[in-house]
Amino acid sequence: MRISVTTENEIYPLEVAQDLELENFKALCEMEVGIPAGEMMVVFNAQPLTDDKKTLKDYGVKDGELIMVIRGTTLLRRAAEHMQQQRQPQGGQRQQNQGPVPMGSGQDDPAVIRDMLLANPEQLALLRHNNPRLAEALTSGDLDKFASVLREQQEMRRDRERQRIRLLTADPFDMEAQRLIANEIQQENINANMEAAMEYNPESFGTVHMLYINCKVNGHDVKAFIDSGAQTTIMSQACAERCNIMRLVDTRWAGIAKGVGTQKIIGRVHMGQIQIENDFLASSFSILEEQPMDMLLGLDMLKRHQMCIDLKNNKLHIGTTGTATTFLSESELPDCARLTSLSEEEARRQSEKAAKESEDRALAEALAASSKEGNSGGASGSSASGATQHGDYGLQNTKSMEAMKKIALYLLYLENVEEIRFKAQTLLWQ
């Protein structure tokens, strides 16, 4: 069995047999820790082990247990210190209950610490990774908030240091001290494991973006999330309304979706078409009321069409048709799936840009429709006979040209893209 032997400063893992006698265990510990067997005191579960002829099994030592090995002189010194602390509780109490050290104008000044971190980009990047809360307070620009968070974390660090000092001077027979020592050992193991991961496997601390593809539902562009861990394909209510398929929702399938949290299911669209590249695939949708992502392709869709997620080539292969589509990059992901969120100013700018492009597209379509009406009017006028018909054609063509010129002037006023400006100028010269 494997046990851990702890001294004042070190921990030694040992492989021993359960039937090992205490005197032989002391001899083994003497070779490992360097304490003579004659001066050695073995403590287990806050009880000293005194009978050298008993085995470890007789003392109840099991696999994974912690045994303390200490010199007898050290034990006597700790007992004397413990008795002295018991005689002078008020002085020690007064010393431990002292308030936090006030921050002066030196290295403990929050303003100085903030300026040092802001002047060093590398330290700031490390702070964002290791201490996100303090980094957020630092970048907020609020000195009082930063000072409050910094003071709180410094006080927590002082408490841990005081606890460590108490462990070094605690009574070895105290069960609470044994528990704190075990917690300290566990935390040291966790920190060692994290340091090893940061050195040999640093990519595990990075964050990867999710897998999305472009598709169309009922002729409307949708960014679909590929989730092989979801049982069914789902769609948000907002996306269903945008794709004009809410009229097909069967409310008899309403319920509650449970996973990481719960969401209300409005109903189900039993069959719809999803266009991926040039393929049209049949699928059903469960419509969720408050779903942040537009659509999620679940395992039912992936298995039905034998889809394969190819992470090496960053593609989704559709086995039933042989088509492959590329996963979206992070810049193409919807806002709810991005790792880096946009600032309010950038979001406002993008929203204004999208609204302007939509308005430009609508005006361009109106321009094309007016041009088509003018051409059809000219064709009908040329095929007709008589002065009256030619007069009607001229009047209709004049009205059409006036409407086109108004649209062209409006396009020029909006300062649109060069292609629309060129079309507008061409119409004005006609």
How far apart CA 333 and CA 223 sit, in angstroms, is: 8
Catalytic residue among 227, 250, 335, 392, which?
227
For residue 322, which amino acid is it? G
The burial class, CB within 10 Å (0-12 / 13-18 / 19+), for 406 is exposed
| C-alpha pair distances (Å), 286 with each of 185, 266, 336, 426 | 50, 8, 20, 50
DSSP string across 36-48: -GGGEEEEETTEE
Give the residue among 332, 205, 323, 238 at the shortest CA–CA distance from 275: 323
Kindly state the tokens that stand for 112: 């100085």
Q: Cα separation of 356 and 350, whole Å?
A: 10
Any catalytic annotation for residue 221? no
Would strands 279-288 and 234-236 be described as parallel, antiparallel, or unpaired? Answer: parallel
Smallest CA-to-CA distance from 93 within 24, 33, 43, 162 is with 162
Sign of CA dihedral 38, 44, 49, 55: negative
Considering only CA atoms, which of 6, 24, 4 is closest in space to residue 15? Answer: 4
Q: Please identify every residue annotated as catalytic.
A: 227
